[in-house]
A and B are shown apart, each in its own frame.
Chain A
Amino acid sequence: MTVPVTIRLQRDDFDLATESARLTGADTTIGAVVSFVGRCRGDEDGHAISALTLEHYPGMAEAEIARHVEEALTRWPLKGVTVIHRYGRIMPGDNIVLVLTASSHRQAAFAAAEFLMDYLKTRAPFWKSDERPDGDRNWIDARDADDDAAARWDSAAN
């Protein structure tokens, strides 16, 4: 049986309820859907920001997300996965990323959603720059904590 997988990169916002309903459809074997929504904060490293701009590598971004979804499907008994990542200019409070994982039971759905987010942070080719209220623009630095979070899956025997 093929597990439904949706991967989309888009400028526009997404709707959690719509995507969740689309993922589960009429499949009554799904007992758990975990959703993660990443949002744009109004501050970064202690200073206010007025917007974020996300740049991506078209083609590779989709391919890299697909590779990690494939890996999640081999690690956990999932019944469906949706990953939507926005690019372009995003305002504080707006959505950036959606990960939905569906499974019969919650453990697989929770673990797979966390796995996918940890890899999206460190391996999917996206780069954020912020705009400050004074008009200054800065590229956001990668965090060691994100690398550490992704690295723990390398040795995890699930």
Chain B
Amino acid sequence: MKVLYFAWVRERIGKAEETLEPPAAVRTVGDLIAWLASRGEEYAHAFERPQVIRAAIDQTHVRSDTAIAGAREIALFPPMTGG
């Protein structure tokens, strides 16, 4: 699946997107964030406060307990500040 990062999540990780195949035990958005946080210092920094991270699956907002099975594109980002 394609994983996209925006704003300070993108800056901390140092990339805007990547293609990942998380292990089968990673079932929800929350699991994905925890798994990513274990992948290195930059990821740990980006996801040090997982409760503030927002997510979208295939361009629709989802909660952290949403299953990621079948997702083509998952985006992780801070709270939005548009308008």
Q: Is the CB of B59 within 8 A of A63?
A: yes
Please name the residue on chain B nearest to A137 by beta carbon: B11
Q: A55-B7, A57-B4, A60-B56 are in contact. Are A142 and B79 (CB under 8 A)?
A: yes
Interface membership of chain B positions 1-17, coded 1 if the CB is closer than 8 angstroms to chain A and 0 otherwise:
00010111000000000
* Structural contact, B77 and A140, CB atoms closer than 8 A: no
Assess the B61–A127 pair: CB atoms within 8 A.
no
CB within 8 Å of B: which A40-80 residues: 54-57, 59-61, 63-64
A124: which of B4, B78, B83 is its contact (CB, 8 Å)?
B83
B82 contacts A121, C-beta separation under 8 Å: yes
Answer whether residue A34 sits at the interface, using C-beta atoms and an 8 A cutoff. Answer: no
Verify A128–B59 contact, CB threshold 8 A: no
| Bound-complex Cα distance A121 to B81 (A) | 6
CB-based contact B7/A127 at 8 Å? yes
A122 within 8 A of B: yes
Number of interface residues of A (CB under 8 A): 29
The answer, among B7, B59, B78, B80, for a CB contact under 8 Å with A122, is B80
Chain B: residues with Cβ within 8 Å of the partner, total of 16
Count of chain A to chain B residue pairs whose CB atoms are closer than 8 Å in the complex: 73
Q: Which A residues are CB-close (under 8 A) to B8?
A: 127, 139
A86–B76 CA distance with the chains assembled, in angstroms: 22
Encode A100-118 as 1/0 by CB contact (under 8 A) with B: 0000000000000000010
7 CB < 8 A contacts A-B: A55-B6, A85-B83, A120-B82, A124-B83, A126-B80, A139-B8, A142-B79
18 extra interface residue pairs, beta carbon distance < 8 Å, beyond A129-B7, A142-B79: A38-B83, A55-B7, A57-B4, A57-B77, A85-B82, A96-B83, A117-B83, A120-B83, A122-B80, A124-B80, A124-B82, A125-B82, A126-B83, A127-B77, A127-B80, A127-B81, A127-B82, A139-B8
